[in-house]
Structure 1
């Protein structure tokens, strides 16, 4: 039988890997799991959440990052509405702009959170109600 077991990782292009790394660490609380250094220069990183459930990679590709500005390629799962409220509080404490918690097609979400390149990262409950 052919099976899939979820995502291994998602890779996003960024214009400045160091600037984006700082944002993803500070805002989404992701930690560096792997650094990709080429010719002595940091060109990418793989980031993981403290629970080890999410792997997000950032790759320095300015032209591609510009093309994704304003688009929402990633929705990160949050277990409950209460946890989503805690994320809203965290984002507010950091002064990060984001939309209000809204009812989505399945569950609840926070939209409008954008990384330094304008790529939207959504937070979405994984439990429907």
Structure 2
């Protein structure tokens, strides 16, 4: 029996503690534009979804969940893709313009990586599709290929 095939990622949902602050931040950093809101029975909106340039049909969703946001502090639930090293540097310059603290450009397992936190302290990664060609498989915390029998 073969497994059914997926057709992509529908949306990425990130927990937040303050929806207004996060919508503004994700808008400034990524160009996030809200297209859908999710009101509770009393009319209070505790979640939104929308588009981000470059994500195609995949939407970004932000949902108020203070416990989940606190539990994700320092964790990186998603890595957004960029093409190459020049794009990583362009994003670093963009974040500098916005005053968003970030890591230096990192020579990661395969490509280049930039790490920064959203307003709740959730780590976000920008990772290049282009590889640097350096084998870091002997370094702790870096990936190595797995072969199957």
TM-score normalised by the chain length of structure 2: 0.79
Alpha-carbon contact 2:46-2:64 (below 8 Å) kept? yes
Q: Could you report, residue by residue, the CA deviation over 1:8-50 in whole angstroms, capped at 9, with x for unpaired residues?
A: 1111111111111111111122111211122211111113112
**Cα distance between partner residues in 1 of 2:7 and 2:129:** 16
Distance 1:127 1:33 in 2: 31
TM-score, normalised via structure 1 length: 0.91
Unaligned runs of 5+ in 2: 133-149
Query: Could you report, residue by residue, the CA deviation over 1:58-116 in whole angstroms, capped at 9, with x for unpaired residues?
Result: 110111111111111111111222111111110011111000111111111101x1111
Of 75, 80, 99, the match for 2:79: 75
Deviation at residue 52 of structure 1 after TM alignment: 4.6
What is the aligned residue count? 128
Structure 1 segment 6-85 matched on structure 2, within 5 A? 6-38=8-40, 39-53=42-56, 54-85=58-89
| Larger proportion of helix | 1
Q: Is the 8 A contact 2:30 2:53 kept in 1?
A: no
**Larger radius of gyration, structure 1 or 2?**
2
User: Cα–Cα, structure 1 residues 51 and 76, in superposed 2: closer, same or farther, change >3 Å?
Assistant: closer
Higher RCO, 1 vs 2 (CA within 8 Å, ≥6 residues apart): 1
Aligned CA distance change for structure 1 residues 51 and 71 (closer, same or farther; 3 Å): closer
Distance 2:95 2:44 in 1: 31
Q: State which of 118, 124, 127 in structure 2 corresponds to 1:124.
A: 127
Work out whether 1:109 is the aligned partner of 2:132.
Answer: no
Give the CA deviation at 1:6: 2.3
CA distance in 2, matches of 1:37, 1:46: 12
